[in-house]
Structures are given as structure tokens and as C-alpha cells.
């Protein structure tokens, strides 16, 4: 197996007397979808914030593409190819889908925001923005204002904006949140296609989605990683079944 693209060792984050992540170690390999699951309060969102650089760990280390990035801020991690979707991106509701992605490209390339039209009329930004919208399945909706997109389409737009950073890996925090069943089915298909070109760490409550998409799964309970393995191994793990899978799967 190839060397991990992302690897953590002994990550700890405390909030007062609460240990949100407790000595978490995991490895995400190139080309896989690695899901992190667990009950509410298990530390999943804290972990993804540590990985993205939004929260500084109290101890432990994070390596990405062979480099120690433990002390780097969000911006430097993004420049190295680690992108968090749905949190680091913001949809401008009055702008079209195409304009949103062009603005994300403009920001990543370090251009100033002197005039909105700089992004929306520059072929060097518009052409790659169209390609990214095509990649996420929104090409036909390029001219539609973000406010008029369906909820699932807005999620796809946010991923397109994250792709504007040229990531080597995407951190997706509950991409199915707020979706109806039909939208979730479409998003599952979209993520399966995206896996062909992107490495993904996925935090998700919907167990049907997790077991349909994930190559490997890590289970967090009270901040601890109690198991990590293939979906079949996780289903068969008695500690996991007792701690999580035996509960309401959509809690």
C-alpha cells in the first residue's frame, strides 16, 4: 500500500476539562474515501478542524504528503493541497454558480478583490471555473444564481469552490446534512465519481452513505478512535456495534 497522504499521531484537543479528541491516530491513503463516524459529541468536527488548521492541537502531530504540518495555519495547509469544504468556502448567494467559482479561483491565486468584475470577465478564471462546474455536474447551471440552486446543488457548488484551490485531498464535513433522500442519493453518486480524482476524508452521520462510499472507516467514541478498518471489519467489530452501530444509525 502507498504511503499515507494524511497521517495523524496522538492528536489531543481539550476544552477545559473536556477531552474532545483523545490520542487520535489515523491514516488516509491516496485515492481512497476514509470516513470518520461516531455518535454526536464523539469529536468528529473537532478532529476535522484540527486537520484543516482551524483548531490548534494540544499535542500530537499531523503529516500531509510527507510533511509535518502540525503548526501550519489554514492558509498554508490549503496551499499544500488540503481543502476543507462546507466550512472554508462561502457561497455568494447573489452571484451565479460560475461567478462563485471564479471568485474562489481569484482568491486562491492571490489576486485582490478590487472589482467583482475582475473575476467574472477574466477568461483565465472563467474557463477553469466552467471546467470545475462540469466536474461536479453543475455545468448546465453555471448561469443560475446560487440562491436559486437546490440545497444539494449548493453543496456541489461549495465542492467546486474547494476544488478551485487545486487540492490533493478534500475534508468533507457532513455533506449530506439537510438533504432529502433523493438529494442524498444524487450526492452519493457524485462523491463516488469524485473519488476517481480526489482523496477524501468524509465525516457523515448517514450510515447508508458511509458504507456505500468508504474504503476505510475510523470510529470515534468520546474522542477516542476505537476501531479503524474496512466497512466489513467495522460492521463485524463487537465494540463498534455496542458503542455506535447498535444505536439509532442516524442520530
250 pLDDT above the threshold of 60: no
What is the C-alpha to C-alpha distance for residues 116 and 96, in angstroms, rounded to an integer?
12
What proportion of the chain, given as a percentage, has pLDDT over 70?
Answer: 89
Q: Please state, as a whole number, how many other Cβ atoms lie within 10 Å of the Cβ of residue 143.
A: 9
8 A C-beta contact, residue 29 and residue 65: no
> Of 32-41, 114-123, 129-138, 207-216, where does mean pLDDT reach its minimum?
114-123
pLDDT in tens, 53-106: 999 999 999 999 999 999 999 989 988 999 887 544 468 889 999 999 998 888
In tens, the pLDDT along 107-124 reads 776 554 444 555 667 788
Q: What is the mean predicted confidence (pLDDT) over 211-218?
A: 95
**Structure confidence by residue, pLDDT tens digits, 118-177:** 566 778 888 999 999 998 889 999 999 999 998 889 888 988 998 888 899 999 988 888
Domain ranges of the chain: 1-81+167-251, 92-166
pLDDT at 233: 96
For the chain, what percentages of helix, strand and coil (3-state, to nearest 5) are there? 40, 25, 35
Q: Which pLDDT does position 201 carry in this prediction?
A: 97
Determine the average pLDDT of the residues in 226-246.
87
- pLDDT of 106: 82
pLDDT confidence of residue 86? 53
Q: What is the DSSP string of 69-85?
A: -TT--HHHHHHTTEEEE
For residue 244, give the C-alpha cell.
455506535
| 1-81+167-251: CATH architecture | 3-Layer(aba) Sandwich (3.40)
d(CA 157, CA 136): 8
Q: Are 184 and 156 in contact (CB under 8 A)?
A: no
Cα 150 from chain centroid?
Answer: 20
Q: What is the pLDDT of residues 6-24, one digit of tens each?
A: 999 999 999 999 999 999 9
The chain-wide mean pLDDT, for the chain, equals 87
Instruction: Please check whether residue 35 is in contact with residue 26, taking contact to mean a CB–CB distance below 8 angstroms.
Output: no
Q: What is the pTM of this model?
A: 0.86
Strands 82-85 and 169-173: parallel
Q: What is the pLDDT of residue 105?
A: 85
Greatest CA separation found in the chain? 58
- Chain centroid offset of residue 210 CA: 13
The 10s digit of each residue's pLDDT in 128-138 is: 999 999 988 89
Q: Identify the pLDDT of residue 246.
A: 58
161 closest CA partner among 183, 187, 129: 129
What is the C-alpha separation between 74 and 194, in angstroms, rounded?
23
- Rounded Cα gap, residues 220 and 40, in angstroms: 10
> What pLDDT, on the 0 to 100 scale, is given for residue 123?
82
CA dihedral 48, 51, 52, 56 (to 10 degrees): 100
Assess whether pLDDT exceeds 80 at residue 251: no
Question: Which of 26-30, 49-53, 178-182 comes out lowest in average pLDDT?
Answer: 178-182
Is the C-alpha dihedral spanning 53, 59, 64, 68 positive or negative?
Answer: positive
The string of DSSP codes covering 184-217 is: HHHHHHHHHHHTTT-EEEEE-S-HHHHHHH-SEE
pLDDT of residue 109: 66
Amino acid at each position: 500500500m502507498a504511503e499515507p497522504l494524511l497521517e495523524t499521531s496522538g492528536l489531543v484537543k481539550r476544552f477545559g476539562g473536556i477531552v474532545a479528541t483523545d490520542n487520535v491516530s489515523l491514516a488516509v491513503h491516496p485515492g481512497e474515501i476514509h470516513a470518520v463516524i461516531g455518535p454526536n459529541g464523539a469529536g468528529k468536527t473537532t478532529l476535522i478542524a484540527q486537520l484543516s488548521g482551524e483548531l490548534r492541537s494540544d499535542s500530537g502531530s499531523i503529516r500531509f504528503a510527507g510533511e509535518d504540518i502540525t503548526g501550519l495555519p489554514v492558509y498554508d495547509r490549503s496551499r499544500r493541497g488540503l481543502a476543507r469544504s462546507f466550512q472554508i468556502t462561502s457561497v455568494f448567494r447573489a452571484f451565479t454558480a460560475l461567478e462563485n467559482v471564479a471568485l474562489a479561483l481569484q482568491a486562491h491565486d492571490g489576486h485582490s478583490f478590487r472589482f467583482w468584475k475582475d473575476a467574472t470577465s477574466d477568461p483565465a478564471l472563467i474557463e477553469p471555473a466552467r471546467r470545475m462546474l462540469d466536474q461536479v455536474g453543475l455545468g448546465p447551471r453555471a448561469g443560475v444564481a446560487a440562491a436559486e440552486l437546490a440545497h444539494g446543488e449548493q453543496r456541489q457548488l461549495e465542492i467546486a469552490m474547494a476544488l478551485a484551490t487545486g487540492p490533493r485531498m478534500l475534508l468533507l464535513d457532513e455533506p449530506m446534512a439537510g438533504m432529502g433522500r433523493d438529494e442524498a442519493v444524487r450526492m452519493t453518486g457524485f462523491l463516488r465519481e469524485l473519488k476517481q480524482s480526489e482523496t477524501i476524508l468524509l465525516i457523515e452521520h448517514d450510515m447508508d452513505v458511509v458504507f456505500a462510499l468508504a474504503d476505510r472507516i475510523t470510529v470515534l467514541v468520546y474522542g477516542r478512535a476505537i476501531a479503524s478498518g474496512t466497512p466489513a471489519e467495522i460492521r463485524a467489530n463487537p465494540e463498534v456495534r455496542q458503542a455506535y452501530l447498535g444505536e439509532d444509525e442516524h442520530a
